[in-house]
Structure 1
C-alpha cells in the first residue's frame, strides 16, 4: 500500500469502530462524505484491499506524452512567455497544433514552476489561521526551541510536540542542539503513550526534508528521478505517517503573532 492508502485505511477503520464520524473522516482525508460511505462499505465487505487503487501500475489512457509535455514547457518559457495560461492554450491550438484543455495546461505549467502573468496583481492576502483538526491524533505539530530553559546551564534545545486538535502537549525532550535524536525520542514517547498519529506538521529542517528535494529539474522529474528520503522521513513512512512541511519564512512570519514555541499555523 502507498502512504495515502494506509492513511485511508486507518481513518476508515476509525469510522467503522465509531471513533470518527463520516464528516470528520471526510475532512481528514479531504474527500466527500459520499466517498467515505463508499470506502466504509467497501472495507467492510471486501477488506483492506478495497482501498488499493485499481489502476496501480497502469499508465492512464489519457496521459499526455512526455515529448508533448517538454514541448509545451519549452514553448511557454521561450516563445510565449508573456501570454497568460488561457491565451497560451489558444496559441498552442492555433499555431502549434497542440490541443489541450486549460486544466491540463495549467497543471503542466504550474508543476514546472511557471506562473501565469497578470496585468493587475491583487494585494497579498492577510494570513488566516488554519482551522484545527476535528479529533486528536489526526495531526501532531513538532518543533524545537533553543533557550536557556534551566538557569546556569546555558542554551538548550527543547524539542516539543502538541496535538493540533486539542492543543495538548504530547512530549518534550531537551538536548544540547536541535537534532534527529530529539525528534525520534519525541515520536517514541508519543507512540508509546498515545498511538501512531496520522500526520506530522514540521518546518523544512534537513532532518525532515532533503535539501535537494526542490533542486530536481523538470527533465529529471519526467525521467522518474527522486531524491532520497532523510532517515526521519523513511522511519515515518514505514509507520504510515505523512510529514507536512511548512515553509520556514512563513513560519517566522506567523510566529511573531503567535508567540508560542510549538504552535505552527
Structure 2
C-alpha cells in the first residue's frame, strides 16, 4: 500500500478530499492521484467528514520500531568478523560476498532469524561490507550465435578453500554461447597431459567445436629458451664457422680441383 504522507502533505490531501465531498472531482481520479485502493479512499473520506479541520494523515507509532536482541547482534558481528578475515586473505579468490550465507548460518547454528537487509546494515556499521567491484569494460568481445561455435579453455591457480594449505589448479572448458561448463577439475600440479585429457573428454563427449580458444598462459604456447632441441640461439666456440675458416676450406677445395686437372 502506498504511504500517502510520503507523497503529499496534510493540506494537499485535505484539499483533495474537500473537492470530492463538494462533488467537484470524481472518486476514480482522486484514487489515481493518491495511488490508493477504494477501501482506503473511503476510510480517509470518513475520517475527513468527522473532523475536517483536525484531519491529518500523519501518525505516530504506538510501539517502537523492531529491534534485534543483543544475542543476535553479537552473533551477527561474530560471523561477519570471521568471514571478513577469510575474504581479506589475498590467496583466496573472493571478489564479492553473498550475505545470505550468514543469514543461513544464523538459522542453522543459532536458530535465530533475521532479515538480509539487517545483516548488510550491520556489515556496513562494523566495516565488514564488501561492495561488488566495478567490472572492467571489455575492449574485445566475441559474439557467438549457437552452442558449439566456440569453446573457451582456461586454467587458474588459487587457494580455492580458505581452510586448504595449498593452492590448486582449476582447469575448465566452457561453451561461450550457453556458458555451460563442459569440463572442470582441480589438480595439484598443472601439466600438459592434464590439458590433453580435458581436450579428449570434451571432444569425445560433446564433439569438435568450430573454434577452440586458450589464453596466453605459457603452458598453451611454445616458449623458446636460450637453447633447445628445436633451435640454438647461441652457438658455442666449436660450433661457429668464421669467415677465415670458410676461406681456407674454399681455397683447399680449389687447389685439389686444379691438381686433379693437371694430372689429367
Normalised by the length of structure 1, the TM-score is 0.30
Greater Rg over alpha carbons, structure = 2
TM-score (norm 2): 0.30
